[in-house]
A and B are shown apart, each in its own frame.
Chain A
Amino acid sequence: MGNITLNNVRKTFGSTEVIPGIDLEIADGEFVVFVGPSGCGKSTLLRLIAGLEDLTSGMISIDGREVTDEPPAKRGLAMVFQSYALYPHMSVYNNIAFPLKMAKLDKASIDKTVRAAAETLNLTPYLDRRPGQLSGGQRQRVAIGRAIVRQPGAFLFDEPLSNLDAALRGTMRLEISELHQHLKTTMIYVTHDQVEAMTMADKIVVLNAGNIEQVGSPLELYRSPRNLFVAGFIGSPRMNLISGGEAERLDAATIGVRPEHLNLSTESGKWKGTVGVAEHLGSDTFLHVHADGLGQLTVRADGEFPVHHGDTVWLTPEPERVHRFNAGGEAIR
């Protein structure tokens, strides 16, 4: 079980308010991603849930039991750190066994559990090695192994993939998602990478300056961002934001159109522009277009689209996919 409830959780460091007050409900078995730019308080929020930081005020409960003042060990949670935080003086086996030893389990059942976890994570050949002798991906798996043997109520991941190279990150992303489907345990995952957020989450919590900007499923956030911040943060490449005359015509201060919602033509369309940089990826083509009177716009076309620097193109937004925002940056529905 892993229901987690945050009730008006506040955190200040000295006179700096990092989290001004957050209410959040995380259901059992959910994969929740906290996403936001660096310094937005997402890691602090995770550490508050873990018990590694004390709350300034507010309440945290897990499965209906208040844990606000309980030490990390009593909360029944497991955490995977960005730096893996493996014990360098212990073998892989002892790293994974450590939480079980702390729980004073008998040797036979520790051995059984550690070997089963190692089997799941393909670590069996490395059990006698020290963390220093492993690659980044293997270390990450040891860290996950150490977390799963405790059978925690929830897993907390603090940017676990940011030290890995791009290819490995993709593989590990998949492994963590599979692990979640297999274990069906609540997972809270902190990242600044919106691709990780979109691909892994059941529910995304977008944070900015310690405040929750929006909570929703990846596609909810993609389809109807509540404000300019979420609109700019979710989706890659970023949403094009246009203000001025074109926005006023739609009764908005700013309008937003995603690169994939601009139809591209070399003959006719609504907005005329000149191609600045063309990125041909084969599967997609990204064009950075200087649109007359609108500024720089990014456009995505499916497959190959044979235009180059200096060519003239026409862009037409899909009308139902245009997002409108008022002067305060809030979405107009």
Chain B
Amino acid sequence: MARSISTRRKIIVTLAAWGVAFVIFFPILYMLITSLKTEAEAIAGISLIPSFTFENYVEVQTQRDYFKPFLNSVIISVGSTLVALLIAVPAAWSMAFSPTRRTKDILMWMLSTKMMPAVGVLVPLFLIFRDTGLLDTRVGLTLVLTLVNLPIVVWMLYTYFREIPGEILEAARMDGASLAGEIIYVLTPMAVPGIASTMLLNIILAWNEAFWTLRLTTSSAAPLTAFIASFSSPQGLFWAKLSAASTLAIAPILIMGWFSQRQLVRGLTFGAVK
């Protein structure tokens, strides 16, 4: 009897899980479906069967160049992630292994910057960018996204580093390692899962960031988020083309996420499972 109950439970739980997953995934699926419809079909109302036309993709590529914003997205997201790591690794190292009385406050302060609405600093930042010539440049956008995501990167790395026993770093110090040696030969290799997952997550966050990328770029540094947005104006809405553009924009990060999901999960549960 116990066995049959547990089997029934398993079926219910499995169905529920699939149900939840389907609800979460549905918008992406519907976007894919819409991108394969004609514009007329897209406006007509909800239907799950498209006419499987690829004209939207062709048109999106001929109307506007996909490759340039794609390259911008890659440069900005990978660039801002690398710069953020360069700053965050030493910062998290010092907070994790030689904390002071103020360390907790500093961490909270860093997090508190994420609680502020970004619009609040839009005007000053825009003016600074305009006057320093950073507007619509990859360097400017990389800088902004580095700063926007830095608190999260520091927090994540801090959490991973805390899991590494301090005695191992002390052993390295006794063994004659310099500060750089300690970080390069001992800390970093031990923190690879954590650093990798932080990196992946940050690339995803930077890739999807739409507030700053839309406001601080016009054309030359515009990434894929701006590429999508450009299909929603000014001649009216073209749902099918918008969907095709969106599909193209999220495809690279979706594929990257798919291939690195093991690393992502391992990083996110690092320390929880010994």
The B149-187 residues at the A interface (CB cut-off 8 A) are: 165, 167-168, 170-178, 181, 185-186
A89 and B171 form a contact (CB under 8 A): no
Is B189 in contact with chain A by the CB < 8 A criterion?
yes
For residue A79, which residue of chain B has the nearest CB?
Answer: B174
For residue B172, which residues in chain A have a CB less than 8 angstroms away from its CB? 87, 98
- A interface secondary structure, majority: loop
**Known contacts A83-B165, A89-B189; is A73 also within 8 Å of B170 by CB?**
no
Is B190 in contact with chain A by the CB < 8 A criterion?
yes
- The smallest beta-carbon distance between B184 and chain A, in angstroms, is 11
Q: In the complex, how many residues of chain B place their beta carbon closer than 8 angstroms to a beta carbon of chain A?
A: 17
A150 and B175 form a contact (CB under 8 A): yes
For residue A86, which residues in chain B have a CB less than 8 angstroms away from its CB? 168, 171
A73 and B173 form a contact (CB under 8 A): yes
A102 and B177 form a contact (CB under 8 A): yes
Q: Which of A52, A71, A83, A99 contacts B175 (CB 8 A)?
A: A99
- The smallest beta-carbon distance between B68 and chain A, in angstroms, is 41
A73 and B190 form a contact (CB under 8 A): no
Is A58 in contact with chain B by the CB < 8 A criterion?
no
- The smallest beta-carbon distance between A266 and chain B, in angstroms, is 54
For residue B185, which residues in chain A have a CB less than 8 angstroms away from its CB? 98
- The smallest beta-carbon distance between A159 and chain B, in angstroms, is 12
Is A168 in contact with chain B by the CB < 8 A criterion?
no
For residue B185, which residue of chain A has the nearest CB?
Answer: A98
Could you mark each residue 77-90 of chain A with 1 if its beta carbon is under 8 Å from any beta carbon of chain B, else 0? 11101110111110
**Known contacts A89-B189, A89-B190; is A146 also within 8 Å of B165 by CB?**
no
Number of residue pairs spanning A and B whose beta carbons lie under 8 angstroms apart: 58
For residue B176, which residues in chain A have a CB less than 8 angstroms away from its CB? 73, 99, 102-103, 150
A73 and B174 form a contact (CB under 8 A): yes
A102 and B170 form a contact (CB under 8 A): no
A85 and B167 form a contact (CB under 8 A): yes
- Give the docked Cα–Cα distance between A150 and B171 (Å): 13
Is A72 in contact with chain B by the CB < 8 A criterion?
yes
For residue A230, which residues in chain B have a CB less than 8 angstroms away from its CB? none
For residue B101, which residue of chain A has the nearest CB?
Answer: A14
A102 and B171 form a contact (CB under 8 A): no
For residue A4, which residues in chain B have a CB less than 8 angstroms away from its CB? none
Is A313 in contact with chain B by the CB < 8 A criterion?
no
For residue A89, which residues in chain B have a CB less than 8 angstroms away from its CB? 189-190
Of listed B165, B173, B186, residue having the most chain A CB within 10 A: B173
- Give the docked Cα–Cα distance between A88 and B167 (Å): 12
For residue B168, which residue of chain A has the nearest CB?
Answer: A85
For residue B171, which residues in chain A have a CB less than 8 angstroms away from its CB? 79, 81, 85-87, 146
B174 and A102 form a contact (CB under 8 A): no
For residue B178, which residues in chain A have a CB less than 8 angstroms away from its CB? 73, 102
Is A50 in contact with chain B by the CB < 8 A criterion?
yes
Could you mark each residue 181-201 of chain B with 1 if its beta carbon is under 8 Å from any beta carbon of chain A, else 0? 100011001100000000000
For residue B168, which residues in chain A have a CB less than 8 angstroms away from its CB? 85-88
Size class of the A contact interface (CB-based, 8 Å): 20 to 34
- Give the docked Cα–Cα distance between A173 and B225 (Å): 66
- The smallest beta-carbon distance between A157 and chain B, in angstroms, is 12
B175 and A50 form a contact (CB under 8 A): no
- Give the docked Cα–Cα distance between A72 and B186 (Å): 17
B177 and A85 form a contact (CB under 8 A): no
- The smallest beta-carbon distance between A146 and chain B, in angstroms, is 7
**Known contacts A83-B165, A85-B165, A89-B190; is A52 also within 8 Å of B177 by CB?**
no
The B63-95 residues at the A interface (CB cut-off 8 A) are: none
- The smallest beta-carbon distance between B99 and chain A, in angstroms, is 13
Of listed B175, B178, B185, residue having the most chain A CB within 10 A: B175
For residue B167, which residues in chain A have a CB less than 8 angstroms away from its CB? 81-83, 85
**Known contacts A81-B171, A87-B186, A89-B189; is A102 also within 8 Å of B181 by CB?**
yes
- The smallest beta-carbon distance between A149 and chain B, in angstroms, is 10
- Give the docked Cα–Cα distance between A130 and B274 (Å): 16
- The smallest beta-carbon distance between B69 and chain A, in angstroms, is 39
The A93-112 residues at the B interface (CB cut-off 8 A) are: 98-99, 102-103
- Give the docked Cα–Cα distance between A102 and B177 (Å): 6
For residue A52, which residue of chain B has the nearest CB?
Answer: B170
- Give the docked Cα–Cα distance between A81 and B165 (Å): 12
For residue A103, which residue of chain B has the nearest CB?
Answer: B176
- The smallest beta-carbon distance between B123 and chain A, in angstroms, is 45
A71 and B173 form a contact (CB under 8 A): yes
For residue A83, which residues in chain B have a CB less than 8 angstroms away from its CB? 165, 167
- Give the docked Cα–Cα distance between A18 and B110 (Å): 34
Of listed B171, B176, B185, B190, residue having the most chain A CB within 10 A: B171
Q: Which of A78, A82, A87 contacts B174 (CB 8 A)?
A: A78
- The smallest beta-carbon distance between A264 and chain B, in angstroms, is 47
Could you mark each residue 138-169 of chain A with 1 if its beta carbon is under 8 Å from any beta carbon of chain B, else 0? 00000000100010000000000000000000
- The smallest beta-carbon distance between B158 and chain A, in angstroms, is 20
User: What is B's interface to A at a CB cutoff of 8 Å?
Assistant: 165, 167-168, 170-178, 181, 185-186, 189-190
Question: Besides A72-B170, A73-B177, A81-B171, 10 other CB < 8 A contacts?
Answer: A50-B174, A52-B170, A83-B165, A85-B168, A87-B171, A87-B186, A88-B190, A98-B175, A98-B177, A98-B185
7 examples of A-B residue contacts, CB within 8 angstroms: A52-B170, A73-B174, A73-B177, A81-B167, A85-B170, A87-B171, A99-B176
Top 6 A-B residue pairs of the complex, sorted by shortest distance between their CB atoms: A85-B171, A102-B176, A99-B175, A85-B167, A73-B176, A89-B189
